[in-house]
């Protein structure tokens, strides 16, 4: 896992790289003098797949487009699938395909306009989300400047035209609906910007001046003074002992402020947000305090990360009342991990916290292109994979008509459900490529709903390679 430490560690705060799908061992279709039984088994296997495909076709609902603009009528079926859900997790099978991003824009537009959703949550640091939310709500700052400054390091994949289009749509929506706005939140822990430290110490200075000296001393030297990418790189160079000491200091601030009396009315709200900002600062420091040279420690960090992302989303829902579309990799929104390096997923934590008020939607695709970091040099490039191999989830899914469709896996016939509940090789492409690992998942166990696309194209990346 640590074979390319300089590349993998900065990327650990997004999904790890994913594997090319290898061809699983299946029945040999070539007959020889001793293979009649094998042919019979192969024919039975083929008939089984044909029956599965037919069952999926009967349940699949045609997806007319992935483009955000235009009619949303075909998404009414998705609306019925999520019903009164408070949080919808919407995955992606790569971190860099425009079709997944545009479909997220389309789904969010539908959920906002037809189902009353009001927040979009991204696999992005809390502090970056704060800045983007100020832009979405009030037009504060320049979006391209914010994206350039906040989408750095392993998060620079989000600096693409499709996400900027989504954020601009949110800003335009709020111009037209100033009394019922949509919001943007980051739920991740990979970075805590200087604004968070300023917000916390500013609130303390105004409302708890007796604590200012103590808080200032505990935070001394911790706030970033460089760009986000440089700060993250330098943080990883600190000794383990120093990273642990920093986490101890941020925890002391969080606990100190959490125990203060919040006051009433507006003061209570301001205190609540201040404590959450202090919590986000500590989440970052705690996540960086693990020994990344130890595989067990790295897995524990990833478990903490998914727990933190889930807790932040649940906190946002509780304190804003917003219904939320949560955007992340399939690996995070799912109920079951695709990888032993993810002991428990964000989706599993959210199911524990919200029960049926959380629904997971996964993406699959047959073939196509995506942007990803080169695992040898960390350079962003476009990669393309060919048709999914026989025996994989996607090979069978793509046999169903139409090319693009939505499938509620909770309500498919038992025959198809049994197939969906069996683990198979699957596309699961994360931040880095190529990666020799082979991923397997049982789609019906991982998600509630599946959106399958035949072919995907790479997003238009706007950042530095």
pLDDT in tens, 87-120: 999 999 999 999 999 999 999 999 999 999 999 9
Chain-centre distance for alpha carbon 192: 18
Q: Where are the alpha helices (DSSP H) in 116-227?
A: 126-138, 143-150, 161-176, 194-207, 212-219
Question: What is residue 35's predicted lDDT score, i.e. its pLDDT?
Answer: 47
Report the C-alpha gap between 42 and 92 in whole angstroms. 33
Query: Between the CA of residue 107 and those of 47, 227, 443, what are the distances in Å?
Result: 35, 33, 20
Question: What is residue 341's predicted lDDT score, i.e. its pLDDT?
Answer: 84
Question: What is residue 43's predicted lDDT score, i.e. its pLDDT?
Answer: 74
Write the class of the CATH domain 5-29+37-190+288-456. Answer: alpha beta
DSSP letter for each residue of 36-83: HHHHHHHHHHHHHHHHHHHHHHHH-EE-----SSS--GGGHHHHHHHT
Mean pLDDT for the chain?
91
Name which of 191, 175, 215 is nearest 131 in CA terms. 191
Long-range contacts of 60-65 (CB under 8 A, 24+ apart): 60/400, 60/401, 60/402, 60/405, 60/406, 60/407, 60/452, 61/405, 61/406, 61/407, 62/402, 62/404, 62/405, 63/402, 63/404, 63/405, 63/406, 63/451, 63/453, 65/106
- Report, in angstroms and rounded to the nearest whole number, the Rg of the chain calculated over CA atoms: 23
pTM (2 d.p.): 0.92
Positions in the chain short of pLDDT 50: 1-11, 15-37, 39
Report the C-alpha gap between 398 and 427 in whole angstroms. 13
Report the C-alpha gap between 208 and 134 in whole angstroms. 25
Name which of 159, 181, 185, 155 is nearest 170 in CA terms. 181
Name the strand (E) or helix (H) holding 35. Answer: none
Where do the domains of the chain lie?
A: 5-29+37-190+288-456
DSSP letter for each residue of 384-431: EE-SPPTTSHHHHHTTSSSSSEEEETTSS-HHHHHHHTS-EE-----S
**Residue 23 main-chain phi, psi, to 5 deg:** -75, 115
| C-beta separation of 3 from 376 below 8 A | no
Residue written as tokens 């989300």?
Answer: 129
Tens of pLDDT along 244-292?
Answer: 999 999 999 999 999 998 877 778 999 999 999 999 999 999 999 999 9
Name the strand (E) or helix (H) holding 29. Answer: none
């Amino acid at each position: 896992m640590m074979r390319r430490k300089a590349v993998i560690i900065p990327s650990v705060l997004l999904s790890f790289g994913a594997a090319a799908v290898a061809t699983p061992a299946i029945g040999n279709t070539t007959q020889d003098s001793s293979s009649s039984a094998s042919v019979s088994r192969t024919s039975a296997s083929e008939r089984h797949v044909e029956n599965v495909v037919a069952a999926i076709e009967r349940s699949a609902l045609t997806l007319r487009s992935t483009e955000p603009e235009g009619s949303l009528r075909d998404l009414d079926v998705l609306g019925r699938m999520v019903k009164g859900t408070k949080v919808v997790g919407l995955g992606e099978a790569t971190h860099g395909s425009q079709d997944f991003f545009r479909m997220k824009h389309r789904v969010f537009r539908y959920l906002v306009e037809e189902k009353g959703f009001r927040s979009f949550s991204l696999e992005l640091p809390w502090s970056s989300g704060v800045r983007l939310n100020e832009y979405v709500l009030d037009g504060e700052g320049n979006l391209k400047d914010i994206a350039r400054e906040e989408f750095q390091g392993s998060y620079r994949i989000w600096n693409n035209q499709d996400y900027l289009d989504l954020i601009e749509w949110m800003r335009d929506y709020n111009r037209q609906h100033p009394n019922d706005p949509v919001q943007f939140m980051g739920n991740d822990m990979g970075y805590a910007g200087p604004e968070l430290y300023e917000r916390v110490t500013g609130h303390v200075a105004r409302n708890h001046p007796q604590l200012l000296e103590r808080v200032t001393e505990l935070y001394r030297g911790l706030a970033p003074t460089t760009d986000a990418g440089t700060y993250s790189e330098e943080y990883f160079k600190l000794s383990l002992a120093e990273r642990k000491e920093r986490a101890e200091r941020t925890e002391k601030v969080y606990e100190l402020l959490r125990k203060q009396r919040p006051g009433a009315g507006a003061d209570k709200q301001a205190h609540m947000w201040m404590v959450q900002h202090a919590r986000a600062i500590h989440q970052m420091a705690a996540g960086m305090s693990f020994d990344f040279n130890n595989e067990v420690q790295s897995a524990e960090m990833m478990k903490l990360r998914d727990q933190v992302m889930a807790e932040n989303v649940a906190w946002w829902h509780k304190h804003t009342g917003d219904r939320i579309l949560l955007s992340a990799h399939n690996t995070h929104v799912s109920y079951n991990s695709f990888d032993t390096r993810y002991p428990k997923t964000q989706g599993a934590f959210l199911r524990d916290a919200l029960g049926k008020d959380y629904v997971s939607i996964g993406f699959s695709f047959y073939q196509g292109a995506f942007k990803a970091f080169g695992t040898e040099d960390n350079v962003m490039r476009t990669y393309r994979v060919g048709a999914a191999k026989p025996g994989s989830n996607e090979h069978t899914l793509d046999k169903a008509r139409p090319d693009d469709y939505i499938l509620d896996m909770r309500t498919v016939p038992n025959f198809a459900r049994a197939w969906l509940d069996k683990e198979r090789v699957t596309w699961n492409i994360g931040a880095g490529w190529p990666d020799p690992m082979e991923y397997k998942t049982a789609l019906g166990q991982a998600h509630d709903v599946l959106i399958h696309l035949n072919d995907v194209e790479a997003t238009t990346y706007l950042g530095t390679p």
